[in-house]
Amino acid sequence: MNAFDGEQLFFIRDEEYVEGEQYTGGGGQNAGPIENYHSAIRAIDPATGDVRWEYPIAPRSTSGLLTTAGDLVFGGTVDGYFFAIDAVSGEELWHVAVGARVHSAPLTYSVNGEQFVTIAAGNVVFTFGLDG
């Protein structure tokens, strides 16, 4: 509700559970089988709207992304890969299998001048040191 005029701003509609179909609960609904999805990270030129590059993600991603001042983009996939791509070219620089769905946005921090990036996959938290 809007605190100023009491107007409803958001609502959640309960979705029916159908046995054998994907169910997210909480009012969300998926577009069907995984084959229906096209997931990608795209760099879009803000002046023209042109796509500069596209990095396809198969089968799809539910994690957030982390973009750094050093022109790196980090993300993860539902099939358990964590990756780094070049933000300028879209080229994959590195990936690693972490064994479970990456379900968190990566975060970065520095300790004693050394940079780290951390993600959660399954019930494990992974931290990687960045060469710098």
d(CA 23, CA 83): 27
Give the mean model confidence (pLDDT) for residues 88-114.
93
| Residue 79: per-residue pLDDT | 86
Instruction: Provide the domain limits for residue 68.
Output: 41-129
pLDDT digits (tens, 9 = 90+) for 7-46: 766 555 666 767 776 655 555 555 556 566 678 899 999 8
Torsion angle (degrees, nearest 10) of CA 66, 72, 77, 82:
-110
Determine, yes or no, domain membership for 1.
no
Place of tokens 């709207």: 49
CATH number at residue 99: 2.40.128.630
Continuous segment of H or E residues that includes residue 114: strand 114-121
Residue 70 in this model has a pLDDT that exceeds 70: yes
Q: Work out how many domains the chain is built from and give that number.
A: 1
